[in-house]
Amino acid sequence: MNSMNRGIASLHRLDGFSEIKENLQYWLTKTPQERLEVVDYLRSQVNGNTERLQRVVKVIHNAIK
């Protein structure tokens, strides 16, 4: 077993999250193609009308002193 992954995520019950459950139920009624079209639409709203997803790489350099 890989012990490095312990504590990364925690499980939560969705009993008290009716809005989340409703959203999930709605999106599960959509086909994967319909879901991708919505993701692409939202992406275009944020990134402009580019045809492809942009790869973004952030490199953080720590100066050794």
The span from the CA of 12 to the CA of 14, in Å, is 6
Please determine, for residue 34, whether its predicted confidence score (pLDDT) is greater than 70: yes
Q: Which pLDDT does position 11 carry in this prediction?
A: 75
pTM: 0.48
Tell me which of 39 and 53 has the higher pLDDT: 39
- Residue 43's CB is within 10 A of a number of other CB atoms, namely 15
The span from the CA of 11 to the CA of 29, in Å, is 24
Query: What is the average pLDDT score of the chain?
Result: 75
* Rounded mean pLDDT, 26-31: 94
Model confidence band, residue 1 (pLDDT cutoffs 50, 70, 90): very low
Angle at 8 between CA 42 and CA 6, to 5 degrees: 155
Domain boundaries along the sequence of the chain: 17-48
